[in-house]
Structure 1
Amino acid sequence: MQAKILLMLSFLGSTTLLFSQNNLLETELILSDMLLISERYVAPGADAAAYQATGGWASTAKSLELFEIDASVHVNALFIPNRRRSFTVANSDFNALRIRGGETASIPTVLGGDTAVFFDFELGGEPNELQAYEGINENQLYHPFLQASIGLWKETDLTVRYSPDIAISDTEYGILGLGVKHSVSQYFNRSQDQDGAIKNQLEVAVQVAYSRFNSGLTFDPFQIEDPDAEDGDSPLLLVNQLDVEVDSWLFQTIASKRYQNFEFFGGVGVVFNDARFIMNGEPGLVLGLLNSLLGNLDASRTVVKGDVGVNYHIGDFYLSNAFTFGEFANYNLSIHYKI
């Protein structure tokens, strides 16, 4: 990775006056250190997005009737555990940066809060400093979306979910997804009453769903000053937002059972996640370099999660409460109307 950084800086150094030859090696080492911090900083954001993108896909294993429609409004609440809010770094991790006042420090991830940790380094023979990235400083992340399902042949449901880019506090969210659920219960003998109707029994289904989830997480500015800058010049780097784009594939099994107006359900699923990160701030050469390097990170994740929930039916409406548990806890509240 360091060889790639040096190659990029050498090319850019030959085409711009921003980096002097003396600053080239120093900047390579600083970028290498920043990439190490950035990778640990952004990873929890990708994991959180996997839970946000896959919560609430199914609230029952029972299939809709042919061409019956289930329209719903959802709100996700993701709870951020303390263990994903920070990580530890040591001076031995770095080439150019040095932790001010200590050998180790705990600094925030993108899901964390504020920090007073500074790093010291030299650039162009001049002492410089930068404050560690700060997080979004939230305990929960909320995300609303719309969802609709239609019953098809062979007890198969097609589900679409959508949300435009919505800003809540210092975060923005948007999602587009498509899912298919298929009843497994239909392949087993079902008990019937005297009128030939299928008796209420345990329903089992499988589901596969794809989601593209976008989030923009805003934090306090992080910057590096240019040692050769004059008054009024822009900093070498200024970052104040992380954009996360996640493609998620969910494969899950769902079971449900209805007792009068109440319906209880649960499921187990595996999520295959592929994330991309973009740092946003003041456009500049170093920001472009950092994003190019972030683009080469292996951000693929596999997440195993469980879901439990309960629905309450009133005529053609029902209210659904679902809890997802795993590395993160997610609560999904939805109101459904069947047509």
Structure 2
Amino acid sequence: MKKIILLTLLVLATTISQAQNDIDALLAAGVDDAAKFANDYLAPGTNGLMHSMNSNWFNTADAKPLGGFEISVVVNAASVKDENKVFNLNTDDYNNVQFVQGPSSQMVSSVLGENNPAIFVEVEYEDAIFGSQTEQIELPQGIGSENISLIPTAFIQGALGLSKGIELKARFVPKIDADDVSLSMYGAGVQFEVTKWLPADKLLPVAISGLVAYTHLDGSYDLTDSSGIQGENQRVENATNTWLFQLIASTKLPIINFYGGLGYIKGKSESDLLGTYRVTNGVLTSEDIVDPFSVSSEASSVRGTIGTKLKLGFFRLNAEYHLSEFNAFSVGINFGFR
């Protein structure tokens, strides 16, 4: 579990930690330029995270009866496509950034990719004593440089059946602190089976349900020891909120069942670079920049789901696959009574 938590936070923290020696130059070149780069660089990672954290909200369309419950341990992973590993950086849209080599518009690594070979840019800043100065920096790599091509999430989930085909769900990850990162997540949902409202419900071979679910994630990365810049209370904080609207259909067999559905994910992820950064302009001068910028990304995507579930008494095992902007797969170990 700790490795999954650290990998999840990696997509939140890499935008700063991979470039820790270059934050000084980026901020000196201008907060607007640094914020624009961070926003484009981080967006594919946070969008992929939103797809990963919305997997395995259900493993059947057959709602549990009154008092029926299920406890699950779920592991998800969104896969990274080649198109998510890069973004177009056009220096014409920046105030003080230019490529060292090549045209003004180039594809560079996002938080999910890598620059191979390395790509360098030149940033310009104004020194109070020496006037206009330039500094060459290497653009940051993404998690692709570590041979990571998945965005994982994991959590504990519970489901409780009420009357009239209504089932309440909740999932959570208690706050976990590991080294300089911390993470917590919670979510709630309601599933309602429409076939339970039909007179011939028990005779039907399939069940049909609808689901609405909300998930919230908080992440934090402490930069105090790694930014390479003098200052206080330096950190990256992330808040991600998502909604899932899902139509589900499944078989109603005793042991092995199959399920699928069509859904819609909508969410927003906001990341804040906080703290005080004492940025040097040349050798003799410096300035304090407090809470430099906030960046955000939004996800809005239709997805299709197919899965299967094995039921052996109290023990259940399910696996599913999602087709969407970020394809994802998930496995759940479930214990329940109905």
Q: Match for 2:318: what amino acid?
A: S
Report the secondary structure of 2:107's partner residue: strand
The one-character-per-residue Cα deviations of 1:33-69 (angstroms, maximum 9, x if unpaired) are 2222222112112311221221110110001121111
Which segments of 5 or more consecutive residues in structure 2 lack a partner in the other structure? 1-25, 279-287
Which segments of 5 or more consecutive residues in structure 1 lack a partner in the other structure? 1-25, 192-197, 225-233
The one-character-per-residue Cα deviations of 1:214-258 (angstroms, maximum 9, x if unpaired) are 345899x9979xxxxxxxxx4699x9x854321111111111003
Q: Match for 2:157: what amino acid?
A: Q
* 129, 140, 151: which one aligns with 2:136: 129
**Between Structure 1 and Structure 2, whose CA radius of gyration is higher?**
1
* 326, 332, 335: which one aligns with 1:328: 326
* 201, 206, 224: which one aligns with 1:202: 206
Report the secondary structure of 2:30's partner residue: helix
Preserved contact between residue 66 and residue 161 of structure 2 (Cα < 8 Å): yes
**Aligned pairs (5 A) from 1:38-187:** 38-103=38-103, 104-114=105-115, 116-123=118-125, 124=127, 125-137=132-144, 138-166=148-176, 173-187=183-197
Shift of 1:318: 1.1
Query: Cα distance 1:309–1:287, how it changes in 2: closer, same or farther (>3 A)?
Result: farther
- Number of residue pairs aligned between Structure 1 and Structure 2: 292
Query: Cα distance 1:114–1:282, how it changes in 2: closer, same or farther (>3 A)?
Result: farther
Q: Match for 2:122: what amino acid?
A: D
Taking structure 1 as the reference length, the TM-score comes to: 0.76
Preserved contact between residue 133 and residue 222 of structure 1 (Cα < 8 Å): no
Identity, % of aligned positions = 22
By percentage of residues, which structure has more strand? 2
Q: Match for 1:108: what amino acid?
A: S
Counterpart residue number, 1:227: none
Report the secondary structure of 2:124's partner residue: strand
**Partner Cα distance (2:290, 2:42) in 1:** 15
The one-character-per-residue Cα deviations of 1:160-211 (angstroms, maximum 9, x if unpaired) are 10112457999864310011111111233426xxxxxx23511000111111
Preserved contact between residue 164 and residue 197 of structure 2 (Cα < 8 Å): no
**Partner Cα distance (2:204, 2:174) in 1:** 38
Taking structure 2 as the reference length, the TM-score comes to: 0.76
Preserved contact between residue 76 and residue 332 of structure 1 (Cα < 8 Å): yes
Query: Cα distance 1:31–1:236, how it changes in 2: closer, same or farther (>3 A)?
Result: farther
Report the secondary structure of 2:164's partner residue: helix
Query: Cα distance 1:322–1:171, how it changes in 2: closer, same or farther (>3 A)?
Result: farther
Counterpart residue number, 1:276: 270
Preserved contact between residue 191 and residue 209 of structure 2 (Cα < 8 Å): yes
Preserved contact between residue 77 and residue 152 of structure 2 (Cα < 8 Å): yes
The one-character-per-residue Cα deviations of 1:263-322 (angstroms, maximum 9, x if unpaired) are 10011111221221123687454462223xx3xx5x343221121100011112110001
